Amino acid sequence: MFDVKKLQERLGVTADGALGRGTLAALFAKAGAPAKIAPELGLAANVHFRTYGLVENGLRLAHFMAQCAHESGGFLYNREIWGPTAAQKKYEMNTALGNDQPGDGLRYLGRGPGQLTGRANYRLYGRKLGIDLESNPELLEVWSLGLLAFCAYWDNCSLNEWADKDNLKAVSNGINRGNPTSTKDPNGWEDRKSRYAKMKALIL
């Protein structure tokens, strides 16, 4: 575990050593979450972060928060901005994403703090969570549900193991490329590094 009181002092909240929803809401706010959604995220994180082992040490928490902040543009977007761009056009009829019906690219665009993408992921994590995300993809635009789905994705990809090793590239590629062992730089690599450095300094 990390020094919760020091984190609370840095966040400007009551330093009681209890990592609860108030402290987590303040952490999300520090990462960019607007005042109207930070409490919802803090409340959800107070449950899900424990379930998925994200507060067992500071490295896990810092890595997770940094990736969420990057993927959501500082918690401003829980739905991928659609062009479509050249990259987004490749979502359509993309078997790797499970997109096998016309319109699936847009239907299963990135949603939630972790930008879960593709019919296959919506189906898989919907089943894991007992929520029919495949039929109701827009549910991931509810911040708390999107956070839960990203926690499940993180767990399924064993990203805590890479966070424990403080391997930012592996964590980033696990999210961006679906492959933590990729040697390529993930998209948005500089921003991911910057956000992680800030979260690590704050939490640790």
pLDDT tens-digit readout, 42-52: 999 999 999 99
- What band does 113 get if pLDDT is binned at 50, 70 and 90? very high
> Are the C-beta atoms of 75 and 31 separated by less than 8 Å?
yes
Distance CA 44, CA 70 (A): 19
Percent above pLDDT 70 for the chain: 100
Distance CA 114, CA 24 (A): 17
Distance CA 24, CA 145 (A): 16
Which CATH number belongs to the domain containing residue 57 in this structure? Answer: 1.10.530.10
Structure tokens that stand for 203 in this block: 């939490």
Structure tokens that stand for 45 in this block: 């994180």
Domain that holds residue 30: 4-203
Which pLDDT does position 29 carry in this prediction? 99
Average confidence (pLDDT) over 59-69:
99
HSE, CB side, 13 Å, CA atoms: give it for residue 113.
Answer: 31
- How many domains does the chain divide into? 1
At residue 2, does pLDDT exceed 90? yes
At residue 1, does pLDDT exceed 80? no
